[in-house]
Amino acid sequence: MPGPGEALIRVRACALNHLDLWQRRGLERVRIPMPHISGADVAGEIVDGGGAFAPGTRVMLQPGLSCGRCEKCLADCDNECPSYDVLGYQSDGGYAEFVSVPTGNVVPIPDHVDFVSAAAFPLTFLTAWHMLITRASLRAGDVVLVIAGGSGVGQAAIQIARLHGARVFATSGPGKMDQARAIGAEDVFDHYQGDYSKQLRTATGHRGADIVVEHVGEATWERSVRSLARSGRLVTCGATTGAHGAIDLTHLFARQLSILGSYMGRKPELLQAAEQFFAGRLTPVVDEVLPLAQAAAAHERLESGRQFGKIVLTP
């Protein structure tokens, strides 16, 4: 049952994220309470709205959990809260029939938005919005290179960058290039072979990228750094293939590069992104919908990297 200030939601859809894989495998220095229920991206219906929402209200959930009282929370920087958690990470999440969250994490969705799309939206679009708009200060006309454009964060970043008037390029495996172009990438480079930093320079008249959106890590890091234009910003939210990346410091200072870390995003950013989603200007790409009982197969698909966009479970 929900505690004080919490709402109880009947889960209609829950999307996977790489975070689900990390916490299933276990992480050094992170305590995952057991038994554990994964799942950060949830859409469903209110059962008990904690006095804030009527039963039956269709909602999606803000996946960031924070104290709501500290200096960072009160300054709308909830993703910097010392007790910040992601739903389903060190708390119980949405691989379930019901989930409870603070009422402040509940975001009503309009009738025309289906539960699967709503579940596919929050974490990746929040993350990509914070990376591009807040951390990397995206401006219209910027050249943006999105690494792994077929991933959850990648497809969100391509769309957000296009929406804000950027020229967007992406990398992907050979099987995903057409899909990345279809959602807004001007050109797509194979990141399994060749040097996409050189291909990007050819495509942009030797300029390179004002912003590189990274989350792959070791396998792409050096090429991603080399892709940066003068005063370029590399913003990263992940290290799927490994956590260590080298950088040439003379290159860093002489070209005035910025390396920016980014983790999740702020609730007001989710609401800004959601406005665009509800108006049809951002559309989460759904790769596959599977029943909750096939969560293991869903994890295997995400682990294999075969998916384009989000894998969603329905109870």
Residue 136: strand, helix, or coil:
coil
Question: Which residues, including other chains, have CB under 8 Å from residue 52's CB and lie 6 or more apart?
Answer: 7, 103, 106
For Zn ion, which stretch binds (CB under 5 A), given 63-71, 119-127, 241-249, 300-308?
63-71
Output 71 or 97, the one with its CB closest to Zn ion: 71
- The yes or no reply on residue 67 touching Zn ion (CB under 5 A) is yes
Residue 137's closest CA among 72, 233, 230? 233
Residue 282: strand, helix, or coil:
coil
- The yes or no reply on residue 70 touching Zn ion (CB under 5 A) is yes
Output 70 or 290, the one with its CB closest to Zn ion: 70
Residue 5's closest CA among 101, 107, 108, 109? 101
Size of the site for Zn ion (CB under 5 A): 5
CB of 65 to Zn ion, least distance (A): 10
Name which of residues 72 to 101 contact Zn ion (CB under 5 A). 73, 81
Output 81 or 132, the one with its CB closest to Zn ion: 81
CB of 72 to Zn ion, least distance (A): 5
Output 81 or 312, the one with its CB closest to Zn ion: 81
- The yes or no reply on residue 177 touching Zn ion (CB under 5 A) is no
Output 74 or 254, the one with its CB closest to Zn ion: 74
For Zn ion, which stretch binds (CB under 5 A), given 58-66, 132-140, 260-268, 274-282?
58-66
Cα–Cα distance for residue pair 73/79, rounded to 1 Å: 8
CB of 281 to Zn ion, least distance (A): 31
Sign of dihedral through CA atoms 48, 51, 53, 59?
negative
**In which element (H, E) is residue 158 found?**
helix 152-163
Residue 286: strand, helix, or coil:
strand
CB of 69 to Zn ion, least distance (A): 6
For Zn ion, which stretch binds (CB under 5 A), given 36-44, 70-78, 200-208, 244-252?
70-78
CB of 66 to Zn ion, least distance (A): 4
CB of 273 to Zn ion, least distance (A): 21
Question: Which residues, including other chains, have CB under 8 Å from residue 136's CB and lie 6 or more apart?
Answer: 211, 213, 233, 235, 260
Output 96 or 101, the one with its CB closest to Zn ion: 101
DSSP summary character for residue 134: I
CB of 310 to Zn ion, least distance (A): 28
DSSP summary character for residue 135: I
User: CB–CB of 311/152 below 8 Å?
Assistant: no
Output 37 or 70, the one with its CB closest to Zn ion: 70
Name which position in 17, 23, 66, 220 contacts Zn ion (CB under 5 A): 66
Does a cis peptide bond (omega within 30 degrees of 0) precede residue 35? yes
User: CB–CB of 310/286 below 8 Å?
Assistant: yes
- How many other C-beta atoms lie within 10 A of the C-beta of residue 81? 19
CB of 263 to Zn ion, least distance (A): 14
Output 20 or 269, the one with its CB closest to Zn ion: 269
Cα–Cα distance for residue pair 127/79, rounded to 1 Å: 10
Q: Which residues bind Zn ion (CB under 5 A)?
A: 66-67, 70, 73, 81
